Amino acid sequence: MSVSNEKIKETLAVFENHGGIMRTTEALEEGIHSRILYWMRDHGYLEKLERGVYKASSVEPLSNPDLAIIGTKIPAARICLISALHFHNMTTQLPHRIHIALSRTRRNPKLDHPPIKVHRFSGDSLTEGVEIHEIDGVDIQVYNPAKTIADCFKFRNKIGLDVAIEALKDGIRDNKASFNEIDKFAKICRVQNVIRPYAETIAHS
């Protein structure tokens, strides 16, 4: 099989219109046959980021390919907990997996890369405090600092109380989250009584 230069240019133009990254299903919807994707991958015009996710080689290297893959392959995912802390520069912890929040009704996603840890959220805990950040042309959902702090206290038995306390201190010290904002999300996450003593200590220190 060979692909004409005109078809290559048309395909790359479609990729550029999608920020340089596309899923196979999106490409098919745009009229790009899977055989063309495979040919262009094999000949260096496209790079395979993950199963079913391709990037045009002409596009600048991705600044955060892991989050770009998450946003492309699992658009409903919200970056949470340690991964959200890392995104907001609020922890010294380096996550070995991307922590994402999904509703309880969604199936576990299957990714070859990056490794992920799925947490099940529901109601306001799932929908409130979400920020949209564009990374490498892809919209990524990330919980804001105050919501992330509340989440860390809610999941303190899984990620460690020390991580949650560090996040609270850093969030307040660096003015990334106010006491009122944290209290708002602490109420949603039902951890007001857990956070309050630590917040009061920080306030009077």
- Over residues 78-97, the pLDDT tens digits come to 999 999 999 999 988 878 89
Tell me how far CA of residue 136 lies from CA of 87, 91, 184, in angstroms. 14, 23, 32
The identity of residue 73, as a single letter, is: K
CA separation for the pair 129, 184 (Å, rounded): 10
Nearest to 72 by CA among 112, 24, 30: 24
Q: Give the tokens for residue 68.
A: 């770009």
> Would you state the pLDDT for residue 160?
93
> For the chain, which residues make up each domain, given as ranges?
5-56, 65-203
Scan for tokens 């996450």, then name that residue.
Answer: 189
Say if residue 123 is exposed, middle or buried (CB neighbours under 10 Å; 0-12, 13-18, 19+): exposed
Mean pLDDT of 93-114: 88
Mean pLDDT of 111-118: 88
Residue 73 neighbours by CB distance under 10 Å: 20
pTM for this model (two decimals): 0.76
The DSSP letter of residue 150 is: H
Beta pairing class for 78-79 and 138-143: parallel
| Average per-residue pLDDT for the chain | 91
